[in-house]
Amino acid sequence: MGSARKSYYQALKQISKTANSSLTLRKTFNATAKNIILATQGDGCRIAILNSQKKYLITIGAHGLSDRYLKKGPLYAFERSPAASPDEIVFIPDTSRDDRIQHPLIAQEQRITSILGIPILREGKLIGEIRVYTHKFHQFSGKDKEFLLTVANMSATILEREELLQTFREKKTLKKKQPEATQGQLTYTTSLKPTEFAHPSEEEFARLLDFFRIEWLYEPQSFPLKQEGERVIEMFTPDFYLPDLNLYIELTTLKQNLMTEKHHKLRQLKKLYPEINIKLINKNDYTMLLSKYGFASPDEASLQSVSRMLFSHSQIQRRVTSLAKQISRDYAGQQLVLVGILKGVICFISDLMQHLSLPVTLEFMSVSYFKGDEGTVEVTKALDNSIAGKNVLMVEDIIDTGMTLHYVLGQLAAQKPASLRVCTLLDKRVRRLANIPLDYIGFEIPDEFVIGYGLDHKGKYRNLPFIGVLKHQNTL
């Protein structure tokens, strides 16, 4: 047996042994990447799968590549010619002369010269890629490619097995939560989640994003903050990137007295990369965010009573009247459809329409509520009538992150109204994640949990005639 053939055999033997072990998915593919390098004489290897939106590659295993290179930014799959077979192999002999390289400067910095891209397929469709990197020009042999295609098929099998196990675990968990009468009637949807989060709070936040169908990438890019010559000695890696919103999220549950260093790094990041849009969500932000969407928080018991009045009933009525006059002027001579999301908007939309001096019709919709389990946001009550070709004003009680509104506006826009604008009584801009233009704003409010005038906490306080701040007895 030739030495090359022997190395392929040994690598496949080791890969199959690792795949059948109790290692995590990431460790399994890290070991697979290492064996690929040994068999092909490469200098680095990355194994990645497409995310749920089929746009970006998520690394699930790597070897021989620096963290700087792995986290150089969102990565797309190689473009393959439409006429080619699905298993087309992509070879880039010289990264400095090929426009398919997405981050050429970092490739040059890391001395990446040649790249071989092997597709991972499931039922003839691309689900991921294996990439082998070399520091010098390297002409991969036909045997190398046959070996890598075999590893790609093994990888697809490993991924499918992991997804089946994940489905089984989720089904088992959900079954325990359901009454016996409903067991056996459930349907499940799942997608492989290879990401291993550094902290449980990150996983909870990812589930929240999944619920609102907001695409996310976990730690996709590291930003150098300090260098000595060409060597990077300090980097900052935000926890999440939301491509649709072009927003980086740094999530922290550290106590405030431990936040100094993180704030310092964020200031450095913004100074060095002013084009980067990044939002820091601290422990208080995180707790309040989960509380808002119905996810039980450990400090929930500390939210008990009204701390103070923010806006009196008379202040609210004056502002509602002013908004109605402005809206009536803007839509003079036209008909208007007011759309509200149940239930918090009831008080505001009821008062608002009484002061409008133009013909209006009223529509309500409901969306599913985030409970921390599997699933995505959905419209649970649709509009009763078509809004196609009509002027629509989306009326909201409060907008903070904007994630619910981002989804709802997408649903309404799909119905092709003549116009679509947004009116909100309260704008908690400091918490904004989805940057949505607002046409009419009642009050901009500080970063506090507010209740009353339709706004609730766990179903209570909606009937208060004023808007107040819910008291925190304990410091978070």
Q: How far apart are CA 118 and CA 179, in angstroms?
A: 47
In the chain the first and final C-alpha atoms are separated, in Å, by 66
Coil, strand, or helix at residue 281? strand
With the CA atoms of 83, 89, 94 and 99 taken in that order, what torsion angle do they form, in degrees rounded to the nearest 10? 40
* Residue 346 contacts residue 340 (beta carbons within 8 Å): yes
**Kind and range of the H or E run holding 425:** strand 419-427
Q: What angle do CA 399, 306, 204 make, to 5 degrees?
A: 50
* Residue 412 contacts residue 304 (beta carbons within 8 Å): no
Q: How far apart are CA 293 and CA 449, in angstroms?
A: 12
Task: Give strand pairing partners of 175.
Answer: none
**Kind and range of the H or E run holding 310:** strand 303-311
Cα dist. 153→48, 149, 374 in Å?
Answer: 14, 6, 29
CA pseudo-torsion sign 167, 172, 178, 181: positive
Amino acid (one-letter) located at 317: Q
**Is residue 397 annotated as a catalytic residue, yes or no?**
no
**Kind and range of the H or E run holding 121:** strand 114-122
Q: Which residue has the tokens 């990401």?
A: 195
Q: Which residue has the tokens 């993180």?
A: 262
Q: What is the C-alpha R_g of the chain?
A: 27
Q: How far apart are CA 288 and CA 306, in angstroms?
A: 16
300 burial level (CB within 10 Å; 0-12, 13-18, 19+): middle
DSSP string, 41-70: T-SEEEEEEE-TTSSEEEEEEEES--HHHH
Task: Give strand pairing partners of 429.
Answer: none
Cα dist. 77→119, 295, 377, 451 in Å?
Answer: 9, 35, 28, 47
Considering 144, 400, 439, 447, which one is annotated as catalytic? 400
- Provide the annotated active-site residues: 400
